[in-house]
Amino acid sequence: MKALSLILSMIYLSLCVVSCNSKERFNELKNRQFSIDDFFQKVASVELITSDEDIIYIDYEFDSDNKTINLLSSREKEPDFFMLHSEEEINKRVFDNSYEVFCNSEGDSTDNWVKTCDGKSSCSDVIYNCLKQIGCAKICRLKMAYAPQSRSFYLLN
């Protein structure tokens, strides 16, 4: 019984350490400027341990002249919007190593779009095209959500 108790304690401690480390690594991105390529790669590569329902909300500044992003803050919480992803869609993206970018522009919902991309250069191009469509003239403070479970970026205006 003591051995079982010790094993369960070790497993719990290991989960706590892994969970804290993933959040700390994400927090290391705060207040640093990244090119869009680097920002996408950093966010997509951080192994986040979230609940099945939670996503990561990111507040950031976009500098349209230099094409850089500065991560201001992040928080994990339930989505404020409804996400439709079938398990088959998600498995296909994970297997293909692809991502989905949802662009929510300032106009009516007819200007919104979704595109699939497959890595650093194609995804950063899609993200940049969305940011241009949103109409950032110089430095804009914007919001983004990242759902690691479905490998989806939601650019919110």
> Beta partners for 154?
102, 145
pTM, 2 dp: 0.70
Burial class (CB in 10 A: 0-12, 13-18, 19+), 89: middle
Sketch the domain layout of the chain as residue ranges: 2-156
If we measure between CA atoms, which residue out of 112, 114, 121 comes closest to residue 147?
114
Residue pLDDT tens, the chain, 157 long: 555 444 444 444 444 444 444 444 667 778 888 898 888 888 887 766 556 678 888 899 999 889 899 999 888 887 776 565 656 666 555 566 788 898 887 656 677 898 988 877 788 899 888 888 877 778 888 888 888 877 888 887 6
State the DSSP code for 153.
E
Separation of alpha carbons 4 and 64, rounded Å: 57
